[in-house]
């Protein structure tokens, strides 16, 4: 599996260099957002992926995301936010921010995808979530302390506001610098999303240097 990810990462780097020569068109390969937002660190180029743990496309896309991350330059700020289009999505969004509050997100992120899509455990109930996180050393007491805490609810609210402001209606979707939206449909396929993202990152990089 590690070899496959390494190969994917190499392919992404090659694609990135090729994509710079492409002339991607606004309104065709990516959408210019009507309601734009300021990056959380204006000195960097922000790249945000909107996703849902229960989404099959997001699960399939995740290895590509992680491979792309390995080659990020220091001026790129990448992070993920969970979409919350219904009650089930909100439950997984809460789990996402709970793992951040518990400081185990990096250890469990892929495991959550695997639990849902490989082991067929929905992780919709507290019991399922407790059992899952216990495998990573999270006690019931710590789970209860942070689950549905003010911090978790605040982050969920902020993420939902961002999704709504950007007008995202499906996932996975990538937002570059609060200005541009890219998804599989606009890019011409899931495998081409980061070609367009890399192009827009370079576009924003040049603008920052002016």
Query: Which pLDDT tens digit goes with each residue over 74-117?
Result: 999 999 999 999 999 999 999 999 999 999 999 999 999 999 99
Q: What is the CATH number of the domain that holds 37?
A: 3.40.30.10
Going by C-alpha positions, the residue among 128, 129, 163 that lies closest to residue 146 is 129
Q: How much is the pLDDT for 147?
A: 97
| Model pLDDT, residue 1 | 54
User: 24-55 burial by CB neighbour count: b if 16+ within 10 A, else e?
Assistant: beeeebbbebeeebebeeeebbbbbbbbbbbb
Q: Which domain holds residue 15?
A: 2-209
Positions of the chain with pLDDT lower than 70, given as ranges: 1-21
- Which pTM does this prediction carry? 0.89
pLDDT given for residue 12 in this prediction: 52
How many other C-beta atoms lie within 10 A of the C-beta of residue 184?
18
- HEC string of the chain? CHHHHHHHHHHHHHHHHHHCCCCCCECCCEEECCCCCCCCCCCCEEEEEEECCCCHHHHHHHHHHHHHHCCCCCCEEEEEEECCCCHHHHHHHHHHHHHHHCCCHHHHHHHHHHHHHCCCCCCCCHHHHHHHHHCCCCCHHHHHHHCCCHHHHHHHHHHHHHHHHHCCCCCCEEEECCCEEECHHHHCCHHHHHHHHHHHHHHHHHHHHC
- From residue 19, how far is each of 105, 111, 126, 195 by CA, in Å? 32, 32, 44, 5
Structural domains counted in the chain = 1
In angstroms, rounded to a whole number, what is the distance separating the alpha carbons of residues 76 and 43?
9
- Predicted confidence at residue 17, as pLDDT, reads 46
Instruction: Identify the pLDDT of residue 4.
Output: 56
């Amino acid at each position: 599996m590690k070899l496959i990810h390494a190969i994917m990462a190499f392919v992404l780097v090659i694609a990135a260099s090729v994509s710079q020569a492409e002339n991607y068109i606004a309104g065709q390969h990516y959408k210019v957002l009507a309601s734009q937002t300021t990056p959380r660190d204006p000195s960097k180029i922000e790249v945000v992926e909107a996703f849902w743990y229960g989404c099959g496309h997001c699960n399939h896309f995740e290895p590509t995301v992680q491979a792309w991350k390995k080659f990020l330059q220091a001026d790129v700020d990448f992070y993920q936010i969970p979409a919350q289009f219904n009650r089930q999505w909100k439950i997984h969004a809460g789990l996402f921010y709970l793992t951040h509050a518990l400081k185990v997100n990096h250890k469990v992120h892929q495991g959550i995808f695997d639990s849902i899509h490989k082991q067929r455990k929905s992780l919709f109930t507290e019991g399922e979530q407790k059992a899952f996180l216990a495998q990573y050393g999270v006690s019931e007491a710590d789970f209860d302390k942070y689950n549905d805490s003010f911090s978790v609810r605040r982050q969920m609210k902020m993420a939902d506001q961002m999704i709504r402001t950007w007008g995202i209606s499906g996932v996975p979707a990538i937002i570059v610098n609060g200005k541009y939206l890219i998804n599989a449909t606009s890019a011409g396929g899931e495998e081409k999303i980061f070609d367009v993202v890399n192009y827009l990152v370079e576009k924003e990089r040049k603008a920052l240097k002016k």
